[in-house]
Amino acid sequence: MAHTAEEVQKQVRIYISVFVALMAFTVITVGVSYLHLAVIPAIILALTIATIKGLLVAGYFMHLLSEKKLIYWVLILTLLFFVVLLMIPSLTENEMIRKAFHVS
């Protein structure tokens, strides 16, 4: 990660660009919501924009783009647990799986 004054100065310019991008995406996501799209496309679009915004914050403000491997592993493990725990209850709602396990 950058520590010399010039490198930090360079990063500050990047922070300003990220700030502008985040504002633009906020305006877009609110604007799109007034178009009253169907539920599925609306969800996909809103979550895609939110994910881009989230990646910008994590990548630049939280310095993840220039972070050490260990931090990546911590986050990969966390993401894995999150997805598995998210899927387990959602899958029990799934008709096919309920039938396979004879759950009424």
Partner 1 sequence: MSTAIIHYIDEPHPVTGVTNSKLGIWLFLASEVMLFGALFSAYILLRTGSDVWPHGSTLLNVPLATLNTIVLITSSVTMVMAWASLAMNRFSRYQLYMSLTILLSFVFLVVKGFEYGHKFEHHITPATSSFYAIYFTMTGLHGLHIIGGIIVNLYLLLWGSRLWQTNPKQFTGRVEAAGLYWHFVDLVWIFLFPVLYLL
3-state secondary structure of 35: coil
**Structure-block tokens of residue 91:** 């899958």
**What is the closest distance, in whole angstroms, from the C-beta atom of residue 93 to partner 1 in the complex?**
6
Residue closer to partner 1 by CB (options 93, 103) is 93
Which residues of the shown chain bind partner 1 in the complex (CB under 8 A)?
Answer: 2-3, 5, 8-9, 11-12, 15-16, 18-19, 22-23, 26, 29-30, 33, 39, 42-43, 46-47, 49-50, 53-54, 57-58, 61-62, 67-71, 74-75, 77-79, 81-82, 85-86, 89-90, 93
Cα gap 29→26, rounded to integer Å = 5
Residue closer to partner 1 by CB (options 1, 99) is 1
3-state secondary structure of 65: helix
**Structure-block tokens of residue 96:** 């096919």
**What is the closest distance, in whole angstroms, from the C-beta atom of residue 103 to partner 1 in the complex?**
15
Nearest to 14 by CA among 73, 77, 47, 56: 56
